[in-house]
Structure 1
Amino acid sequence: MLTRRTFLAASATAPLVFSRASGRAANEKITLGFIGVGTMGRGHLAAFLGRPEVEVVAVCDVVKERIDSAKTIVEKRYADRIKSGVYKGVTPYADFRDLLAHKGLDAVVIATPDHWHHIPCVLAARAGKHIYCEKPLTNNVAEGREIVNEVKKAKIAFQTGSQQRSEFANRFRAGVEMIWNGWIGTVKTVRIGVGGPSRPCDLKGEEKPAGTDWDMWLGPAPDREYSSVLCPKGVHTHFPAWRDYREYGGGLLADMGAHHFDIAQWALKMDTSGPAEIIPPENPKKGSGLRFVYKNGVTMIHNEFEKDKDGKEIAKADCVFEGTEGTLLVGRNQLELRMKNGNPTKFPDQPQRVYPSTSHPKNWLECIVSGKETICPPETGHRSASVCHLGNIGYRLGRKLKWDAVKELFVDDEKANKELSRESRAKWKV
């Protein structure tokens, strides 16, 4: 039977090369723990299991069936790779705090519901663990700033799961470079095609299944009865609808918006800033048409696209950038340039280039070894999530808001500023 120790010994075939930045051996196994192994977490688990520089040593969830399933997946994969014996080197945990105390653990992947990102990130940073956390980074603005501060103090490698910066056939990366290098002139308007804002949870209670720690699933969120809509029974293969409810997520505006607003902020070079005004539509209840206005005059519009005289949308995509010389449509399966007159300007002799990364997980692992900053560090993830939070607040309050992106406060608006944080249940204050 192979143990973790013999597994590592068997795989160490190359001489050790140490990074001065991190003190780690470049070919030393990075030991990972997974906090949350639902649909998204299992996807990450499969991806990291395929990486030779990683060894998964611990898994955690609030549902016993998911813990058991993830443990079996890891041990079978490693046993198959070794081609002999039975691998038993994965420790299951029902409480992520116990996982963080796992001896020899280097890093964690957090793929919990949004309301459960903040506390694990803070405690993992305080424990000195490197972190890969799903997007949107938090459920409110105040949580994001605290994560940024804790990671800075801990000096760890942190990757926000905004993988459009690294993947999808480089369409988003190419689009950002085209904008940076003036292909469509000066950007005036950005249109983001994602779903609507969050709403209060009104689900009926159900009988809690055995093996599910419902109180732990709720965590810092308000107490309520169990719902399989929020936490499906057993091992599920769909994306649960907790995303729709403000107690746990930010609606589709934040779910996919955290991806697409992130690309817009990147293209506008606003990774460490944000809009100056939030202007909801005349009828906020329709859940689209809210505008974010930046200090440079650029207007970003949520889910509202320009139409021709027949009412047909002229240009629609995940991200639509409208400039003085043309329009750029960018999506996971789309990269289309529409010029007003002739061909775009060629790249300059010394073009501006984006951070080189073609794999989000690989970039994080490389930064753990090198000590360099990842392509989507917590400040960037926080600022992208903040756009989503500001949009949700704008729809809720239904009036124009002025935002100070430096102080991260609404200007002279006490009621709006109360929306920037939320009181956690007493047992989950950190």
Structure 2
Amino acid sequence: MKGIVLAGTRSGVGKTVATLATIRALQDAGHAVQPAKAGPDFIDPSHHAVVADAPSRTLDLWLEGSDGLRRNYHRGTGDVCVVEGVMGLYDGDCSSTAMVAEALDLPVVLVVDAKAGMESVAATALGFREYATAIDREIDVAGVIAQRAHGGRHADGIRDALPDDLAYLGRVPPTADLEIPDRHLGLHMGAESPLDDETLAAASENLHVDQLFEVARAPPKPELERDQSADAGDGRVAVADDAAFCFRYPATIERLRAAADVVTFAPTAGDDLPECDGVYLPGGYPELHVDALADSPALDTIGERAADGLPVFGECGGLMALCRSLTTADGERGEMAGVLPADVEMHDRYQALDHVELRATRGTLTSASGETLRGHEFHYSSANVDRDARFAFEVERGDGIVDGQDGLTEYQTLGTYAHVHAESGAFDRFLDAVR
């Protein structure tokens, strides 16, 4: 499967809209498109999935390693993969867009804000390409998409200013309907605020789709394939799946389904916990659904079954739901599952944002004692933890829950602020507990 990476000159330049327009343009030209996202984000991929009608692959060197990155890429389907970058091309010390492009040997298409420039767009693109040489990195900046560019003289001026070996691959016009609303943690989810289909289709017509496909190339395949030979049906995992628990990597669900029967439930819709041998509560927006969760029979049942030893794993929003209570930034308070000895409070500013590394101080649901896990944390909440609470991890990079610790644990329940990827092996160990 061929691929291209759409990278920005900075955050907020319009990478997501350019990516969605590129996906739409390639689809309209008859290509089967696999979307992907560089970095650990859950929100941008939800918009990819709406337009491409396919889950978006997560490509993060810190979370997956180089072989895991390639494995995850090649598990995608289609004839061309469109990878949206994270922040600016070179930003990030753990898994920048440039690092992902280099690990996959994919060409980069630079998204440049052309709202108030023509020749300067070319100068910017040329500078980004030459910077790779200056830092001794093999980054192939192959072309440019001009974001917020008008047609006519504006587009012609940008194209004519580019050197011959930097392709002008079209533009995204300045259209108000192409703006996606945002809130804490980022944009609204794709199912909440999809772009208008006709507007996106019109914008995609300004892209040079044949050139985009021609620029794309296939990356090398991974040297080792991760063992996924466990028999399906060895246990049943219940996965929360609704607006409060919507942050899941596709590879995680694939791994769970490869070795267990997976059933979903929606706590905010009044679903009770189905019969199961283990529970996975992903992250999401529990703070937007405090009343529904406080009334949820599923959280009551999780509390009862956790006390009986049912394996329960909660990440970020899942951690919050497993605690005693959740209080919003506006002071709204709701009782949660009450499994973990902590009360959670939301804040107006984020409390942590980083790639993290955790070292297990005891055997737990996701790792053996002494092992390390790499993940990512981004949350606006903090947890007021009981003095005698037990933790499974020491934080070697990142913030964690409190005092350099993460992984609140009680019974066979683990709650952590860190999101981990299936390539970390965490879910293999979780499945061992389920079986």
* TM-score normalised to structure 1 length: 0.27
- Flag the structure with more relative contact order, 1 or 2, with Cα contacts below 8 A and sequence separation at least 6: 1
Structure in which a larger fraction of residues adopt strand: 2
How high is the TM-score relative to the length of structure 2?
A: 0.27
